Amino acid sequence: MSQVDSALVETLLTALGNAYAPYSSHPVAAVMECPDGQQFAGCNVEVAHYKGLCAEASAISAMATAGQRELAKVYVMGPGEHLCTPCGDCRQRIREFATPDTQILVLSREGEVLKTYTMETLLPDAFGPEQLPAR
Ligand SMILES: [Zn+2]
């Protein structure tokens, strides 16, 4: 299995440590990497009414806030050794900014790549911006 670089692991572990997950006790970290190499981290942020924000959504918000609109790579790190794949809502959110070449990598806490997806394998035949009339 391959390993991501130590700076990225550090970024993910910091985000994981900052996750606010008092209800699920399931902290998650994500990093969105854009084609120019810029990276945006996020963690899950839960709230008492249970409509919290996923790590992927948090990182995508940071990316969009910086004016970025395309994903080259998505990194997701969960709390354990299980595959912490993006939820259905986040798959659609990633799809919004993905290309056919975007890679979604699910990592262990040590930065080991447990599994790599393309958008097509993560969310086959997905609905996307192309299905809507041109604006
Ligand atoms: Zn999600």
At 73-110, the pLDDT tens digits run 999 999 988 999 999 999 999 999 999 999 999 999 99
Q: Which of 10, 33, 46, 56 is catalytic?
A: 56
pLDDT-derived band at 134 (thresholds 50, 70, 90) equals confident
In whole angstroms, give the CA distance from residue 29 to residue 90: 13
- C-alpha of residue 13 to centroid of ligand 1, in Å: 18
The CATH classification number of 6-131 equals: 3.40.140.10
pLDDT at 77: 98
If DSSP states are collapsed to H, E and C, what string results for 110-130? CCEEEEEEEHHHHCCCCCCHH
Q: Tell me whether residue 33 is one of the annotated catalytic residues.
A: no
- C-alpha of residue 3 to centroid of ligand 1, in Å: 24
